[in-house]
Structure 1
Amino acid sequence: MTNLIIVVIFLVVGIGLQFVRQVPFSTAQYLNKYLIYVVLPILALKYIPEIELELSLLWPISIAWISFGLSWLLFGTLGKQLNWKKSLTGCLIITAGLANTSFVGFPIVRALYGEEALKIALLIDQAGSFILVSSVAIVVASIYSDEKKRKRDITRKILTFPPFIFFIIAFMLNFSGFQFSAGISAVFDLVTKTLTPVALIAVGLQIKVNGNAIRSKYLWLGLGYKLVLIPAVIFVLFGFIFRLDDFVFKVSVIETAMAPMITGSIIAISHNLEPKLASLLVGLGIPLSFVTIGIWYFILG
């Protein structure tokens, strides 16, 4: 519980910095770039070469795909039956279907379950959430909006994203049995220790909540799916039907319970899929998820 309190403190610090005039408006963008171009690649190089690859790891990877697939099925069906605008349906599918498994997920998983949990979280994020947000989510956005994305553009975005490039490199190092020297490993350790404070301060700087908008039933429908329903599905599926290893099971449920992904909301906004709702799902979802994640952590024991 102490670690969870530390996570909340860093988030609050980020929120507080929004009201400090001396902090530039672009600070969150620079912190995000540091995470994307430095921390996430080094996380991959540090942990993935150490993972003992086995088929059972496909289970935690599958949670991102299950979550997005069920989101598409649920909100796609509701949208048709209740005559929602296509933009509303698309917004809920994408924003509620994608979890913030890296910027928020990594520091929380590390705080709750330690360094070993980060290895599983990396696989969930890179082989699950990232591929989804870079490909399938863009396809869904194109279906529910007037803008069309070329397959070539989607492929280029995946192949040129730094964390994904280093994810592939790290897997190649794993297969080859390569190990970094003690000196390089020490540098990696220093960089990865910045993950929690930098990621959560960056998230805190970006949290914006409009008090008048929280009465939207679509907001609570999306958050209800993301924070309650889909974690419950994974809890039952992995805990009682497939009976995964206890440690993998806990990390999988907690990663599924993360708030909506910031990048997912950006995709919705850029395709004009209810921009205000997409922003609010993230802005309210992140602080609210700290409460629901605490509840899930208690349930998991």
Structure 2
Amino acid sequence: MENFALIGFAIIVGYVLQKLHIFPEETPNILNKFIIYISLPAIILLQVPKLNFSFDILVPAIISWLVMGLSAVLVIVISKMFNWSKSITGSLLLVAILTNSSIMGIPIINAYLGEEALPYVLIYDQLGTFIALAVYGAFVTAYYSSNSSISSKVIIQKILTFPSFLALLIALLFLGQSFPPLLTSILTTFANTLIPVALVAVGLQLQFKLPKNDIKPLSIALIIKLAIAPLIAYIITITFGWNNLAGQVSIFEAGMAPMITAGAMASMAGLAPRLSIAIVGYGILISFITTAVISKLII
């Protein structure tokens, strides 16, 4: 219950601050940069070394990548059908694909499936969403934020210098190891800033009145993220016989709201910033309803 309250309260705080014009207009961009350059790398360095690999725990990771891959293909096909700009396409390839697997996933799945489900949440999050954010997210921002053709060399360079990807490479070197208590404490402090800072940033940028041109891509993005993605996950679990707790967690995770950090990344890269933040904001609100529907169907 506390997590649900924090989510709602932080977004409201950001929205009120926006309406009162207390902070400068560039504040959301500054907060987004703080998330991408400090909070997110801290979480990766803190959590990834804790992983132990086995096939059983890879089920959520496998499902996450299949869901993201198929959803991305769908976004590209629909974008071509409607002849959307490179900016809108790039925005949807981030916010309609990357799921809010930890900030929303942990409290919601804990509420519906209990604490025994949380290890699978972390697998989906760390081996699926986190790696996708670092590699796929960096690729999308590098390619779609460019106004001209961009070489593979430049894309690779941007990926390799992206903060979360660098943090991932470092974290993988310490698999199965523990950092000294002092370093762990510092990383934990920075990692704990992600949720409140990210949610306040969403509130600061949340717009309920959108231009008519944004309504169609917003609607399609939310349909893909909140309805089609969990349906894909459900079909995968049925096909491979993964009708267990790991499969249930994966279906829930696939249907979570769009990732807040993906919205921050899209906004910072200039990929339809207003649309990107709107998709995240509306997605968070609507996901409380859609995840309740998912719980009725699979539990």
TM range (shorter): 0.7 to 0.9
Q: 1:45 touches 1:167 (CA, 8 Å); kept in 2? A: yes
1:108 paired residue number: 104
1:3 paired residue number: 3
Mapped partners of 1:9, 1:36: distance in 2: 22
1:158 paired residue number: 159
Higher relative contact order (CA 8 A, sep 6+): 2
CA deviation digits over 1:37-89, x for unaligned, max 9? 22212212211111102344544334454344323543555566xx5325389
1:18 paired residue number: 18
1:125 paired residue number: 129
Q: Classify the secondary structure of the residue corresponding to 2:149.
A: coil
Q: 1:231 touches 1:256 (CA, 8 Å); kept in 2? A: yes
Count how many residue pairs are aligned between Structure 1 and Structure 2.
287
Mapped partners of 1:29, 1:135: distance in 2: 20
In the TM superposition, residue 155 of structure 1 has moved relative to its aligned partner by 0.6
Describe the shift of the 1:222–1:247 C-alpha distance in structure 2 as closer, same or farther (beyond 3 A).
same
Letter in 1 for 2:28: A
Q: Does 1:147 align with 2:151?
A: no
Q: Structure 2: which 5+ runs fail to align?
A: none
In the TM superposition, residue 160 of structure 1 has moved relative to its aligned partner by 0.6
Alignment of 1:84-95 (within 5 A): 84-85=82-83, 87=85, 90=89, 94-95=93-94
Describe the shift of the 1:295–1:59 C-alpha distance in structure 2 as closer, same or farther (beyond 3 A).
same
Mapped partners of 1:252, 1:234: distance in 2: 7
Mapped partners of 2:76, 2:285: distance in 1: 27
Letter in 1 for 2:53: L
Describe the shift of the 1:150–1:213 C-alpha distance in structure 2 as closer, same or farther (beyond 3 A).
same
2:51 paired residue number: 51
In the TM superposition, residue 213 of structure 1 has moved relative to its aligned partner by 2.7
Letter in 1 for 2:35: L
CA deviation digits over 1:161-184, x for unaligned, max 9? 11111111111110xx43212333
Q: 1:65 touches 1:132 (CA, 8 Å); kept in 2? A: no
Q: 2:15 touches 2:203 (CA, 8 Å); kept in 1? A: yes
Alignment of 1:1-301 (within 5 A): 1-77=1-77, 84-85=82-83, 87=85, 90=89, 94-95=93-94, 97-101=96-100, 105-112=101-108, 113=110, 116=119, 117-118=121-122, 120-135=124-139, 141=144, 147-174=148-175, 177-211=176-210, 213=212, 216-238=215-237, 240-244=238-242, 246-257=244-255, 258-259=257-258, 261-262=262-263, 265-266=266-267, 270=271, 280-296=278-294, 299=297, 301=299
Instruction: With the length of structure 1 as denominator, give the TM-score of the two structures.
Output: 0.77
Q: 1:219 touches 1:277 (CA, 8 Å); kept in 2? A: yes
Q: Classify the secondary structure of the residue corresponding to 1:107.
A: coil
Letter in 1 for 2:179: F
Q: Classify the secondary structure of the residue corresponding to 1:179.
A: coil
In the TM superposition, residue 221 of structure 1 has moved relative to its aligned partner by 2.5
Identity of aligned residues (%): 26
In the TM superposition, residue 121 of structure 1 has moved relative to its aligned partner by 1.1
Q: 1:92 touches 1:222 (CA, 8 Å); kept in 2? A: no
Q: CA RMSD in A?
A: 3.5
In the TM superposition, residue 124 of structure 1 has moved relative to its aligned partner by 1.8
Letter in 2 for 1:241: T
User: For structure 1, which segment, 1-10 or 61-70, has the greater mean C-alpha deviation from structure 2 after superposition?
Assistant: 61-70
Mapped partners of 1:125, 1:56: distance in 2: 18
Q: Structure 1: which 5+ runs fail to align?
A: none
Letter in 1 for 2:32: N
In the TM superposition, residue 247 of structure 1 has moved relative to its aligned partner by 4.8
